[in-house]
Every structure is written in structure tokens, then in C-alpha cells.
Amino acid sequence: MEFSIERGAGPGRGIPIHRQIADQVRRAVVAGALVRGDRLPTIRALASQLGVNRDTISLAYETLAQDGVIESTVGRGTFVSLEPEPASAAPGSVVPPPLSPLVDRLLEFGRARPSYAGQNGAVPMHSLIPDPSLYPVDAFRRSLNRVLAKAGSELLVYGSPEGHPELRAVMAERLSAEGIEATPDNVVLAQGASQGISLALRLFAAPGDHVAVEEPTYHNLLAVLVGHGLRPTPVPMTGDGPDLDALSRVLARPEVKAFYTMPSFHNPMGTTTGLGHRRRLLEIAARRGKPVVEDAFEMDLRFEGRGAPPLAALDEHGLVVHLSSFSKSLFPGVRIGAITARGRALEGLRALKRTVDLSGVPVLQAAVADFVRSGAYDRHLARLRRTLRERRDVLVKGLAAEMPEGTRFTRPEGGYQVWVELPGRIDTGELLEDARRAGVMFAPGSLFHHDGRPSPAMRLTFALSDADEIRRGVSALARVVRARLEQAPRPVCDDAIYV
């Protein structure tokens, strides 16, 4: 069969190449153009034919094999193993109902992500889950007991879709202290930043629309886009933040409806943009008439220096929807985030929240409000920031001392993550299994690219690991990287982005 892929404008735009290939094989099987026993091209041959990296073809074939469409045998090749579906089911048989196309694509997106199962004691430097040993369990229990003793059953019924009024007031005060125009009325609580992202994107974009995203960007954002039928349009990151010339060009396109950005403690890079960059970004957004979704999920985790005001504090036109969360600063199980908006965006946000979420969890929201009001939250943050700074210092010192010459990495002023770029154009996705066996886990750079392309970069975190574990993990990682460099690895694909 003939394969074709879309890299530029066209119906395939924004769909990862490996998925385009897998979809074409599936359609050929359904149509009867491929039948059981037909042989597919080798990975090497098809990669050469299409001008893509062999890993891309390998991922497409792996996806098809997991679905039982094809099977591969060493020495023989890759063959179609699935018979075309019959025109109608046999009498008495049960045909499973089809899933929506969006869910099908979301499942395929999930299959392309690396598995971290079976870590066997490996240092977990891939994870952004905060260290449970740092959770303020006893202090939070006291807040929970106080609000239950005071309000009782009132906190165990449905609450307002916008969230508990006391916590909205608390959030408004804290956001106002950052310079953001916030009152309890324009703060809407969400089930963590993840729901906040979903709601904010749905405010401005409908299935088929494009959303401008930083490249690299938060990998769960890419999953949200797939789940909503939206398409990412990448804006490359530089050392100063998103490339503003590229952003201006992207936002000029009518199909691009919004820009999602993380100006402070960027995930995965850990970088923070300066005041001048933030002002210019907002000028571009205002000139193009496009809204900005500012994800400040680690806003309370600055442990060094003094940052620029949030975009929402600098916004003079009501363009910015601001997201924040307690998941990284307190603990993820509380599932509380806040969305701040103005004007019609606020009206739309309230309407959306009512349709997707009848109520949050009033008792937890009230407990968090008490926890903040009592001063326990700020005391917890002070301890947490000291710990994070110590861990950051251990990590960057270890990277400087042990990684091969030519390795580059960021030095975050807050948050949990460091972005590492390896020399020699190594594809970090190929290092995962060797690293796991050596005793360390990381998140490969491909995970944060909209098309999953091979990348010589990786994200390391100091969220779950203490200082000794970080030292051990960096040593293990350095050994694996040096061993791979000695093997003279093949280059990653030509269209890889290096940041």
C-alpha cells in the first residue's frame, strides 16, 4: 500500500506522524485493501520511503500490534493479523459499542507515552508528585476538624459550582497581593489545575480549532487538547521564554483561538520570563485580539529571587485567564485549583463550570480556607521552599560535576523541574530502559513535544527524591549517558527541535 504523511497544512496537521501511519493501516484493513497475512514494509524501508526517523515507524507498528492489527516475528517481518470486520454481526453475538473518535485518539495518544511501571527502586526523577513526607498532615487534620465542628452537615451537601465562598475570598486576597485584579466574585474554584486548563480552553476554542502552545510544553495539556478535539500550534521556546516573533505570526492565524503559557517555573523547562518579555507578550496578544491562558500551577513555590508580576497582573485588556492550584504546594489529593477571569470570559467560565461540575467538595475547600487563614499554609510553604532549594542545589551541582561535557541544564528559581539537554544528539527516549536498569527515571523530551518527535532533552524533577537519592540518580544517569555517547548513537530526526 502507499503511505502519505502530512507535515504542513492539510487535514493531517497536528496529528503525530506515527498515528497518521497507524490510521492508514487500520483503514486499509477495514476496507479490505490489506488482509490477514499481508506483509508490511520493514521499519527501515518505510522510514526511508517517508523520510522519517525509524523510531516513528516503530511506534506506529507498536501501536498497531497492541491493538492486534499486526504481528511481528523476528527474521520474518511484520504481517497483518486482523481480519476485516464482517458487514453484520452473527445472530446472538454482542458487538461492543464504538467509542467516540475523540476518545479513540486520546487512547492512541496515551499509548505513545512511556511507561514507568516496574521501577524496582529506581530514583523517581520523572515525577512531579510532591514528596508525601513533606505533607502537613497533622496541621491539615486540625483545620478539617475545626470546619466540621463549626459547620457540620452544611459542608456535606452540594456546594456552589463556583466553590466555597470562604476559599474564594482567601484566594482573592492572595491573588490581589500578587497584583491581580481579584475579588471572590471573579474567582472560580476547580478540581485542580487540570480541570482549570480544560475549562479555560473550552472558553475560547471548539473542536477543530487550534491553540498556540509552547514547544516544549506540559504533556497533560497535549492530552487535554486531544480529548477536546483541539489542535496544538507550537511556539518554540528560547532561553528568554516563548519566541515572541513566532508567537505573533501564530496568533495572526484565524484558526488559532488562544495561547497557553507558563511564564513562571515553566513545565518542563523550569524557566521564568522577565518583566519586559511579559509586557511584549501581552502587547502581541492584544494586537492580535487573542486570549492568554496563564498556568501558574507552582506560583507559591518560589525559593530564590524575586519574580516579575503574573501576566494577569499586567493585563490591561482582560485577555488573561489565570490558573493556580494547591496540588504542588500542599498535596495533590486535595484537588483544588482556582481560575480567575474578567468580563465575558468570567460569565462563560461560570456557565461552563455549572455544566461539567455540579459542585466541588465543600468540606475540603473549607478546610483549605481555614488552613490558609490560620497561617499554617505559609509556615508549610516556608519549610517546603527551604527543602526545594536544597534539593535544587544538589541536583544542579551533581549535573555540573558528573554529566558529560556539553550537557546544558536550567537552574530554576522555584518549582520542581530542571530541563537537561544532552550533547551528541541523543534521543533520550532510547535511554529510558537503560536508565531504569541503572536505577533512575526521567521524563524524555519527546513527551513534551506536540508531535512526540525524538529529543535530546529530558526533564528531571526533585519533587519526590531527597538529596541522597538525587545524588544517586544523577550518578546513574551520567553513567548511562556516557555509555550511550561511546556507542556513537545515530542522530535524531532532522526536524527535531533543540531548546
For the chain, where do the domains classified as CATH 3.40.640.10 start and end?
Answer: 137-374
CATH number of 123-134+379-486: 3.90.1150.10
Class of residue 412 by CB neighbours under 10 A (exposed 0-12, middle 13-18, buried 19+): buried
> What's the confidence (pLDDT) of residue 18?
85
Report pLDDT for 9: 39
Provide the pLDDT for residue 496.
38
Q: Which residues contact 82 (CB under 8 A, 6 or more apart)?
A: 29, 36, 68, 69, 70
pLDDT, position 13:
46
Which strands make up the sheet holding 292-295, listed edge to edge?
187-190, 337-340, 320-325, 292-295, 256-261, 210-215, 231-238, 241-242
- pLDDT for 89: 53
Backbone φ and ψ of 254, nearest 5°:
-65, -25
d(CA 245, CA 345): 27
Number of Cβ within 10 Å of residue 238's Cβ equals 14
Classify residue 125 by its DSSP letter.
T
Sign of CA dihedral 438, 478, 446, 484: negative
Radius of gyration for the chain, computed over Cα atoms and rounded to the nearest angstrom: 24
Cα gap 291→204, rounded to integer Å: 8
Residue 441 gets the label, from left (phi > 0), alpha (psi -120 to 50) or beta, of beta
For CATH 3.90.1150.10, list the domain ranges present in the chain.
Answer: 123-134+379-486
Q: What's the pLDDT at 489?
A: 47
**Which residue type sits at 453?**
R
Parallel/antiparallel/unpaired status of strands 337-340 and 408-409:
unpaired
Place of cell 518560589: 302
In this structure, the dihedral spanned by the alpha carbons of residues 189, 193, 195 and 200, taken in order and rounded to 10 degrees, is: 80
pTM: 0.81
187, 172 in Cβ contact below 8 A?
yes
Cβ–Cβ < 8 Å for 471, 398: yes
CB-side neighbour CA atoms (13 Å) of 76? 9
Amino acid at 112: A
Query: What is the per-residue pLDDT for 17?
Result: 85
Query: Is-contact 134 387, C-beta < 8 A?
Result: yes
Instruction: Say how far apart CA 249 and CA 386 lie, in whole Å.
Output: 41
Alpha-carbon gap, residue 87 to 93, rounded angstroms:
13
Q: Which of 376, 318, 393, 380 is nearest to 349 (CA)?
A: 318
Torsion of CA 237, 243, 247, 250, to 10 degrees: -70
C-alpha cell recorded at residue 255: 484558526
Task: Classify 279 as helix, strand or coil.
Answer: helix
- Whether the Cβ atoms of residue 68 and residue 82 lie closer than 8 Å to each other: yes
17-88 fold: Arc Repressor Mutant, subunit A (1.10.10)
Contact 370, 447 (CB under 8 A): no
Mapped onto helix, strand or coil, the DSSP state of residue 79 is strand
Tell me the residue type at 427: D
Cell of 55: 523510531
For residues 5 and 16, give the distance between their C-alpha atoms in angstroms, rounded to a whole number.
Answer: 9
Regions of the chain where pLDDT drops below 70: 7-14, 74-75, 83-95, 118, 488-499
Q: Are 411 and 328 in contact (CB under 8 A)?
A: no
Q: How far apart are CA 68 and CA 63, in angstroms?
A: 9
What pLDDT is recorded for position 116?
A: 79
Residue 123: strand pairing partners: 440
Q: Tell me the CATH number of domain 137-374, given options 3.40.640.10, 3.40.50.10800, 3.30.499.10, 3.30.750.210.
A: 3.40.640.10
Q: 65-103: b or e for each residue (b if 16 or more CB lie within 10 Å)?
A: eeeebbebeeeeebebbbeeeeeeeeeeeeeeeeeeeee
